[in-house]
Chain A
Amino acid sequence: MALTLATSWCQSLRSSPPDAAVSGAPANSVTGASFNFAPDDPPGEWHSQARDYANTRYSSLHLIDTGNAARLRIAWTFSDGTQGGHEAAPLIVGSTMYVVTPFPNILFALDLSKPGEPIKWTFKPNPSPAAKGKACCDTVNRGVAYVDGRLIYNLLDDHTVAVDAKTGKQLWRTKMGNLERGETMTMAPFVVGRKVLVGNSGGEMGTWGWIAALDIETGKEIWRAYSTGSDEQVRIGPDFKPFYDHMKGKDLGIKSWPEGMWKHGAGSVWAWISYDPKLNLIYHGTSNPSPRVPDQRPGDNLWTSTIFARDADTGMARWAYQTTPHDRWDYDGVNENILLDLPIKGHVRQALVHFDRNAYAYTIDRTSGEVLLAAPFAYQNWSSGIDLKTGMPMVVKEKEPHPDVKLSNVCPPDLGGKDWQPAAASPRTGLVYAAIFNLCMDVTDNKVGFIPSTPYDGMNIHRHAAPGGNLGEFMAWNPATATKVWSIKETYMTMSGVLATAGDLVFYGTADGWFRAVDARSGKILWSQKLGSGIIGQPVTYLGPDGHQYIAVEAGIGGAATIHADLIAHAGEDFPAGGNTLYVFSLGGDSQ
């Protein structure tokens, strides 16, 4: 058994193609982009939702490749018995798989070394059901983080817990927020060194958004940075050097709001965080401003819909870029920032790629916050472009909502050109792959009052397809030229995470339940499998104890994909029901 394991392991290492590390991209890379795969977790395991600090979601495993992907079959499945949208990715550490569920946030440990992958232990934290009524977009959980024998994740009711990975016993539990303020927690914690970073949700509830660092051993809070308020509260200090002028000034987190409205201005940090170990900077985004009726809050509404670079130790901001100043359409800035070194016009730039809700794909210099490139990746009509001199978008006046005025065909809708579902990058092709939307909305704003723990919202929305009629799309994007390389149109929304592998494959799923493997270079669909429910989770890949490569993904539609049932586009077909099954695939369905 051990010999087989060792042989397959050596085999995989020997025939592993020369993957791009920090230096050098392969000759057939389209862009020449290179990535830092720190913390360099074992290739056969998956220790964090984004795989690595740079958020590449790329695996160097290549036993499954473009030649044999058509042979993928279901190897085994696991039902977690809960309801709701399944947005997380399972983690694989050693020979154990860890699966977290939506509310009530149960954590399972599955023993991959035994036939049938039995449950080793179950951790039931019993969060408060009151949290269910405060979650805008289903009672989801976006995943667990693993560090040093601990599994750390957030409960919907504003607690962060750490669980012993061997025994399943609670190590610590910290109260981070308050349901009475309308905040919940859904994001996957992000570990940097001996700290774990967490943030709140509640952009539609008038919360006060924040990101915080906790000690991984004790769970005590080390620092917390808010998204609105004074410079001290936002952790802006003398080292803060935003690239663009409209973000320079004192206490802009108060001054860019009418008197007092910054206190419930949101800017929650509910999605992804990346980290550059050389610059020692973390990158994250903040949500839309509250309320969702812009006329009630004139001003730029800093620091909502903003990408931040912060010092990883102290949380002090280094630079910030607001993707949608005075956001009028709920275009959060929380989507992932994929870090890469990219040759642009002959110079290698330390950059990041960010697909924003506002349908623009940004290539930004991650040392300074300068926008190098910005181009729409999905259909949009709210703006006529981004002025790279000032960093400001040029807003189309006809698409500005006002209370009691019915506005038709505003594109993209509040869900954006792409929502939280994370993209992946491949060092072999140098491209970035994302599941995106093709949507518009008819919207009427209604003035709202702030009543704590009720929505501070006001948008009456009907979403529908943008020109083309398809609701979803899966695409390959060239971050050096800001152009789409190839794309696959999908009838239903594509709201899943993406996985990229060294087999030159990229994986994604659709809202009606199709899980697909695509050739990363050509965009040709090599394999599809219909799963029991729609897919909004994040696929991962790992090496089982038997040496086989497996692909795992959750199928359980929910989240924002079903917020409005009038998104049923295809005549004659009904929208899939919910589900709660983890599917694991291998070549031929082989498993031990």
Chain B
Amino acid sequence: MSYQYTFGPAIDPITRLGWALGIVALSVVAIIAFLLIGGVFRRRAPSSQRLAESKDAGGVSWIYIGTGISSVVLIGCMVWTMIVTAAVSRPPGLPALTLQVTASQWWWSVRYLSPRPEDVFTTANEIHIPVGQPIRIELMSADVIHSFWIPQLAGKMDVIPGITNVTWLQADKPGVYRGQCAAFCGAQHAHMALFLIADTPRDFAAWREHQLTETPPDSLTEQGRQVFEAHCGVCHAVRGVVPAGVRGPDLTHLMTRRTLAAGLLPDQPGDLAAWIVNPQRFKPGALMPAQLLSGAELTAVTQWLSTLN
């Protein structure tokens, strides 16, 4: 029920309209129920009297009044709906930021665009935006139909292979908003969540600055880095490390995220190690295969990944 409370201009008008329509619908049900019950229990004259007094009891006025009120209400709702649809179809101003979100089975790649090429970077499964500003989101699919849905901030927008759909949203209150894939996309559709965090503009700028930095080499975790490069780099990218695969999520600054595996596991070293050893246990069918690492290799790579702050 928390999704009834929304926090952005892309969805607030819809929420209000939703509540209003709900109230109207409930009122209609109440009124009709009242009239029906009233009609059921209304005392009638005996049948012989009714036959003799076959004059118009004046019930047509009920029809006129009823139709009139219904029409006004319905037309009012229709007009209101059209106003709401227009209001949410485009952002109130120029978007402060454009994101390119590519949905794959069963995770989200997020690329931050910028007029300055050197500020373009990629992350995964977690979106940060500044509060109070409209954000434009371009949606692409790497495989099948998905749907991008952050219920407290915007309506659903399908993600269709071969087409780039565009949506927008705005968060008026800082906080963490959970999103979900809303179109059945395969065995792990239910485990394809994402988190959108709305930061104050200063926190957002700091986060963004930090995302652009690279992971420096560290002699203590060097072995783990080597394990990553040999075993993981062909699918995963970490800025600063040489191989940069694109088959799986970008893992740069992995430890700054709240969850692993698109919202499935908490982002803690223990869960990370369990995930690496056998992703199939948590997300059967996921494209990440079980890793055949020795105990030492697993410890080393988990240690190194834990430094990706």
B242 CB contact (under 8 Å) in A256, A298, A452: A452
* Bound Cα distance A447, B118 (Å): 20
6 interchain residue pairs of minimum CB distance: A299-B117, A258-B120, A449-B245, A449-B246, A450-B244, A255-B118
A260 CB contact (under 8 Å) in B113, B239, B247: B239
Q: Which of B47-55, B190-198, B230-238 is near enough to bind chain A? A: B230-238
Query: Which chain B residue lies CB-closest to A300?
Result: B117
The answer to whether A452 and B243 touch (CB under 8 A), given A257-B118, A259-B120, A404-B162, is yes
* Bound Cα distance A509, B30 (Å): 92
| Residues on the A chain within 8 Å of B118, using CB | 254-259, 299
* Residue-wise interface mask of A (31-52) relative to B, using a CB-CB cutoff of 8 A (1 in contact, 0 not): 0000000000000000000000
* Residue-wise interface mask of B (222-256) relative to A, using a CB-CB cutoff of 8 A (1 in contact, 0 not): 00000000000111010110111111000000000
A257 CB contact (under 8 Å) in B117, B237, B243, B244: B117
Interface size of B by CB at 8 A reads 24
Count of inter-chain pairs, beta carbons less than 8 A? 56
Cβ B245 vs Cβ A298 within 8 A: no
Does B121 touch A at the CB level, under 8 Å?
yes
What are 16 of the A-B contact pairs (CB < 8 Å)?
A255-B116, A255-B118, A256-B118, A259-B118, A259-B121, A259-B214, A297-B117, A298-B120, A299-B118, A299-B120, A300-B117, A404-B162, A447-B142, A450-B244, A450-B245, A452-B242
Does A5 touch B at the CB level, under 8 Å?
no
Does B212 touch A at the CB level, under 8 Å?
yes
Does A372 touch B at the CB level, under 8 Å?
no
Query: Which residues 116-147 in B have Cβ within 8 Å of A in the complex?
Result: 116-121, 142
A interface SS class: loop
Query: Which residues 40-89 in B have Cβ within 8 Å of A in the complex?
Result: none
Cβ A450 vs Cβ B243 within 8 A: yes
9 other A-B residue contacts (CB within 8 Å) besides A258-B117, A449-B243, A449-B244: A255-B116, A256-B118, A258-B120, A259-B121, A299-B117, A299-B118, A447-B142, A449-B247, A452-B242
Interface residues of A, Cβ cutoff 8 Å to B: 254-260, 264, 297-300, 404-405, 447-452
* Bound Cα distance A297, B113 (Å): 11
Cβ B239 vs Cβ A259 within 8 A: yes
Query: Which residues 152-166 in B have Cβ within 8 Å of A in the complex?
Result: 161-162
Cβ A260 vs Cβ B240 within 8 A: yes
Query: Which chain A residue lies CB-closest to B117?
Result: A299
B interface SS class: loop
Cβ B212 vs Cβ A259 within 8 A: yes
| Residues on the A chain within 8 Å of B161, using CB | 404
* Bound Cα distance A405, B164 (Å): 12
Cβ B121 vs Cβ A258 within 8 A: yes
Query: Which chain B residue lies CB-closest to A206?
Result: B244
* Bound Cα distance A299, B117 (Å): 5
Query: Which chain A residue lies CB-closest to B122?
Result: A258
Cβ B117 vs Cβ A451 within 8 A: no
* Bound Cα distance A450, B162 (Å): 24
* Bound Cα distance A213, B119 (Å): 34
The answer to whether A451 and B243 touch (CB under 8 A), given A254-B118, A299-B118, A300-B117, is yes
A449 CB contact (under 8 Å) in B120, B214, B235: B235
| Residues on the A chain within 8 Å of B235, using CB | 449
B190 to chain A, nearest CB (A): 26
Cβ A255 vs Cβ B245 within 8 A: no
| Residues on the A chain within 8 Å of B117, using CB | 255-258, 297-300
Query: Which chain B residue lies CB-closest to A295?
Result: B100
* Bound Cα distance A299, B245 (Å): 21
Query: Which chain A residue lies CB-closest to B113?
Result: A298
Cβ B234 vs Cβ A451 within 8 A: yes
B143 to chain A, nearest CB (A): 10
Interface centre among B120, B212, B240, B243 (most CB of A within 10 A): B120
| Residues on the B chain within 8 Å of A449, using CB | 234-235, 237, 243-247
Cβ A451 vs Cβ B121 within 8 A: no
* Bound Cα distance A225, B119 (Å): 25
A451 CB contact (under 8 Å) in B113, B233, B240: B233
